[in-house]
Amino acid sequence: MKGFFLTLEGLDGSGKTTQARLLAQFLEEKGIKVRLTREPGGGLPGVRDLLLKGEALSPEAEYLLFSADRAEHVRKVIFPALEEGFWVISDRYLDSSLAYQGYGQGLPLPWLKEVAKEATLGLKPHLTFLLDLSPEEALKRVSAPDRLERMGLPFFQRVRQGYLKLAAAEPERFRVLDATRPVGEVQAAIRFGILPLLP
């Protein structure tokens, strides 16, 4: 692949979307081709409302819907952009499912990873920034909670611990940043992390 695949992960309210947008602007100013995308909805646009605003789903159905969206996302958006030499910045990817449906809802990680292997064609991000903050702070920041955001503090505590375990297992890919810092400081840390990788 000619491009670079970067993801931002973290609890709802951690600032991923803002940081992804700021990073895309920074790279574009440097003349780098950027494709900014997100999950859910990057592959199957209608699935976002179904997952976040629809009725309660079983964790299994929820994960399979995320995976269907991810399969299309990889095939129709991410891989083609990488082949064209773009930097692809995704606001969430597979680590979100491992944290939320795996650690958060108790689905077995081996099954999640087996499904993901086919859905993603084995594609992993080159670099992942985990914007870390306490579940208490994350929930304070969410003004209009969606279905997942209404699952309560114990759920988000499990999700956060899941994210930290994922990061500890792949320290070469993950960079854990303190998301309680001001937006500009977090963005500066992200830019510092990617500077050695720029062409």
CA separation for the pair 40, 54 (Å, rounded):
13
Asked whether the beta carbons of 183 and 15 are under 8 A apart, the reply is yes
**Is 43 annotated as belonging to a binding site?**
no
**Is 15 annotated as belonging to a binding site?**
yes
CA separation for the pair 120, 54 (Å, rounded):
25
**Residues linked to residue 8 through DSSP beta bridges, in sequence order:** 91, 129
CA separation for the pair 148, 96 (Å, rounded):
12
**Is 11 annotated as belonging to a binding site?**
yes
3-state secondary structure of 53: helix
CA separation for the pair 81, 52 (Å, rounded):
27
CA distances from 178 to 7, 14, 152, 175, 186 (A): 16, 9, 22, 10, 7
Provide the annotated binding site: 10-17
Residue ranges of the binding site for ATP: 10-17
